[in-house]
């Protein structure tokens, strides 16, 4: 597990992009629950930080594909999967597992 950011740096219902070991990681806060995923859409690489979070899914701003924040599964085109990173909270620290 590697330090990614402080929980307090990711606003509720907001996002933050961090670089961890050279990879862009998107952190998302949904009502206090933190998720970590890759910031590049698996479809055509659009940055996901401008995506909309709704009903447990992140939708890509480019073509609207919706990805489950827990599994990365794509609702619209199952052949695409968003990389979700396991994480742990240690106090105010978000620790991610890049695998
Ligand atoms: S680039 Fe994300 S849905 Fe096409």
| Cα 40 → chain centroid | 10
Give every CB contact of residue 60 below 8 A, 6+ residues apart in sequence.
Answer: 41, 43, 46, 48, 51, 66, 67
Per domain, the residue ranges of the chain are: 2-96
Rounded to whole angstroms, the Cα distance separating 53 from 30 reads 8
Instruction: Indicate the pTM of the whole model.
Output: 0.96
Per-residue pLDDT of the chain (99 residues; tens, 9 = 90+): 999 999 999 999 999 999 999 999 999 999 999 999 999 999 999 999 999 999 999 999 999 999 999 999 999 999 999 999 999 999 999 999 998
CB atoms within 10 A of CB 2: 13
Pocket probe for ligand 1: among 46, 57, 82, the residue whose CB has the most ligand atoms within 8 Å is 46
Return the CATH class of domain 2-96: mainly beta
| pLDDT of amino acid 99 | 87
pLDDT at 28: 98
Is the CB of 54 within 6 Å of ligand 1? no
pLDDT value at residue 66: 98
What is the residue whose two structure tokens read 């742990």?
88
Determine the pLDDT at residue 29. 97
Closest ligand 1 atom to residue 80 Cα is: 3
For the chain, the straight-line distance linking the first and the last C-alpha, in angstroms and rounded, comes to 9
Beta strands in the chain (DSSP E): 2-6, 15-20, 23-30, 33-38, 52-54, 57-59, 66-68, 87-90, 93-96
């Amino acid at each position: 597990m590697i330090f990614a950011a402080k929980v307090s740096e990711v606003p509720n219902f907001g996002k933050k992009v961090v670089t961890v070991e050279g990879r862009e990681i998107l952190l998302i806060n949904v009502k206090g629950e933190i998720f970590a995923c890759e910031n590049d859409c698996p479809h055509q690489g659009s940055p996901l930080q401008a995506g909309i979070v709704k009903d447990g899914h992140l939708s890509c701003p480019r073509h609207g594909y919706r990805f489950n924040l827990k599994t990365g599964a794509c609702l619209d085109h199952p052949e695409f999967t968003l990389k979700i990173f396991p994480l742990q909270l240690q106090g105010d620290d978000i620790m991610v597992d890049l695998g």
